[in-house]
A and B are shown apart, each in its own frame.
Chain A
Amino acid sequence: MAFVPIANTRSAAGMPTGRLAVWWVIASEIVIFGGLLAAYLIHRLGHPEWANYAVHTNTMAGAVNTFVLLTSSLSAVLAHKAAEEGNGKKAAWLLVATTVGAGMFLLIKSFEWTYEITHGYTIQTNGFWAFYYTAAGLHALHVIAGAIIMLVIAADAYKGKYLHRVELIGVYWHFVDLVWIFLFPLLYIAK
């Protein structure tokens, strides 16, 4: 059913089309998160009292989640390596492992947020918490979307199909990880 145009097979820029496109997607995402985080930073610098609110974020949960995401990026890289070797089944399982990591991330976050919300720190509480939930929430949406796409690609890879997409979702996943590496210090460590 997939019609692959000749356009898709050319490579005047020297890079396969899929990879070129994913990098442009990353570029657009960088400006979205960059804009949001820049707005947060400027507010934070202008509101020293936000340090008092930031004290109540769960740094341990954040740290564990950082470890979880980094590990999931590792499995994504190993999946790419397997795909390069033509081993679709191995790549698929490693991608599944990556989505398990995503699931753990989301699980820890849901416990974290449930605690915070039931203790009165909601998105409406003040400016700091508004940015906190917005930034981390936008990131979490990208984790969910990425995990779903990753499972679809894993299903195809298991059957030996579209193995080049393992690399592409891996690149996206590293980006999601990188955003978290920025979020963690900005929201959790800076107190």
Chain B
Amino acid sequence: MEHHDPHVDSHGDGHHDDHHDQGFWEKYVFSTDHKIIGLQYMFTGMAMAIIGGFFSYVFRMQLAFPGIDVPGFGMVSPGEYNALVTNHGTIMIFWVAMPVLIAAFGNFLIPLMIGCDDMVFPRINRLSYQVFLLSALVLIFSFFVDGGAFGGAWTAYPPLSAKAQYNLTAAGSSLWLVAVALEFVAFLLGGINFITTLMNSRAPGMRWHDIPLVLWMIVIASILFMVSVGPLIAGAAMLFMDQNIGTGFFDPNRGGDPILWQHLFWFFGHPEVYVVLLPAMGIVAEVLCINARKKMFGYKLVLYSVIATGVLSFFVWAHHQFTAGIDPRMANIFTVTTLLISIPIAELCFLYVATLYGGSIRFTTPMLWSLAFVVEFLIGGVTGIYLGASGMDIYFHDSYFVLAHFHYTFYPIAIIGVFAGVTHWFPKMFGRLMSEFWGKVHFWGTIIPFNIIFIPLFFLGMAGQHRRIYIFEHVAGLAQPHLQDLRVLATAALVVMLLFQAVFLINLFTSMFRGAKAGKNPWRASTLEWTTPSPPPHGNFGGNFPTVYRGPYEYSHPDHDEDFWPQDEPPAA
């Protein structure tokens, strides 16, 4: 009698693909193919970026020209200003950075780079996108309800976020919270898929140190997200109840504590920045190695540094609360841990630079973005050191110095890293090449204005300018002409930068349909995704799954004629 192994699903359907004749809806809208789902996340994230970018245009116009009738929006009331900055931040982190860096690249790349045909749970994958799309729609819906969008900052501190009599946006506040909660669910679902797939579905011969760094980064980020978001999900449920059914979790008059929310939020909020940083650094790692024709300097050290960062990231959160009334002795401890965490990240930057040293550098568009990432992120990281010291933070907390610091970190992550990834993997996604010329025009038209926006903001912060204030005309120390000039300069640079994004969009869409055809491997790279057709067919490898014989970055290997050595090429006999 045949032994029945209940661990393997022996039910009839087996492994063959029933989707041989898919209509438009099944193939592009309700797809379970990881590549389509990845692109769905990417385009949704890009659409949300346009909305988030538009919000920044509006509020910066208000700051530069107070009281102006902003073209395309109208007059900005104080309440609307708050809603704009709140939703700008919320959108950029949850609906741009995370979906594009983790969900889009993770979905598209993981099965291809590990040599299998899809994620382990394709239908859960599809569900995760559908929940994510719903979350985006709920958020957008919140802009149009009575009272308007939530304006309590992306940090949503109670009592402002909990009491409608304070925030004046009863419906908007709850919808915002529901949208964020749904987004969390989507990323938990997706994350489990990513982690399980990377752990289990690797090609034969692919050891843990043969895995491309970008995949490690995406999966470690997924684990970080999963572990850090739990307490905040509990907190979000509590805030929702405080908003809607009269509980008092965060109300001191009812036995609650608003500081509890801060701890629950920042226990997630700090690891979250590494959740988005790691995939961006992974993308940069891939692009640097390929375009320097050199293996990563210290692959294992990179990995250990990333893991150390991930662990340490759980012990720094209260540096966001230095002025919230926490015990100064606690502040000392968190200062130490915060300064410590800069060490592994600095290590990574050094390793990236060492990877470039002695390399044969090709200044392609993705390479320009990756190099810019290292430079700009360095500025962000270094300015974080000032803020990590609790003494300095007493002055800088909630000032524009903080804002400039985190834009010098988030912008490289969410914008520069994304452009590096999109320009690099576009040929694989669409089978065509983007224009290098317009890519470089877009690059310079973005990077130069970016710096002109945010360097003035450091100076405004040092002059004492507070965040989340819609007008400074009535504050003597801040209403000075030379400071207003800085505000106008930053706004002008923002407008220029936003206009240049049209170059990218035109390049993207024209290249998708009329770009030069890309072969399998236009960058002459050695990882597995470049062994498939561009774009890869459903099932990726046509049934001939690769076996892996070497690491992912065997470039310029002395024993090999070509300057790249594909992972799946058998060793010479």
Contacts and interface: CB of A to CB of B under 8 A. Distances in A.
A35 B228 CA distance: 9
A154 to B, nearest CB: 14
A100 interface: no
A152 interface: no
Nearest to B32: A3
Contacts of A19: 7
Given A34-B230, A39-B235, A13 B199 contact: yes
Interface stretch (B60-68, B112-120, B295-303, B453-461): B112-120
Contacts of B8: 9, 16, 164
Contact of B226 (A8, A17, A28): A28
Interface in B1-59: 4, 6-9, 11, 13-15, 17-19, 32
A131 B6 CA distance: 41
Contacts of B438: none
Interface in A78-137: 83-84, 86, 123-124, 126-128, 130-131, 134
A149 interface: no
A5 to B, nearest CB: 4
A15 interface: yes
Contacts, number: 169
B15 A134 contact: no
B319 interface: no
Contacts of A162: 9, 11
A29 B226 CA distance: 9
Contact of A8 (B120, B195, B234, B247): B120
A39 B13 contact: no
Given A6-B15, A126-B254, A134 B122 contact: no
B248 A127 contact: yes
A31 B6 contact: no
A60 B14 CA distance: 50
Contacts of B195: 24
A7 B119 contact: yes
A163 B8 CA distance: 9
Contacts of A124: 245-248
Nearest to A161: B11
Interface string B219-238: 00000001111111111011
Nearest to A36: B234
A32 interface: yes
Interface residues on A, range: 35 or more
Given A3-B32, A8-B121, A164-B6, A35 B264 contact: yes
B255 interface: yes
A116 to B, nearest CB: 15
B199 A39 contact: no
B408 to A, nearest CB: 30
Interface residues on B, range: 35 or more
B201 A123 contact: no
Contacts of B200: 7, 10-13, 15, 17, 20
Contacts of B119: 5, 7
A34 B13 contact: no
Interface in B73-127: 111, 116-122
B360 interface: no
Contacts of A36: 231, 234, 237
B18 A134 contact: no
A35 B234 contact: yes
A137 to B, nearest CB: 9
Most buried by A among B119, B234, B246, B256: B234
Contacts of A8: 120-121, 201
Interface in A12-54: 12-13, 15-17, 19-21, 24-25, 27-36, 38-39, 42-43, 47
Contacts of A29: 230
Contacts of B121: 8, 21
Interface in A154-172: 161-164, 166-167
A-B pairs, top 5 by smallest CB distance, nearest first, are A35-B231, A31-B230, A127-B255, A36-B234, A7-B201
Interface of A: 1-13, 15-17, 19-21, 24-25, 27-36, 38-39, 42-43, 47, 83-84, 86, 123-124, 126-128, 130-131, 134, 138, 161-164, 166-167
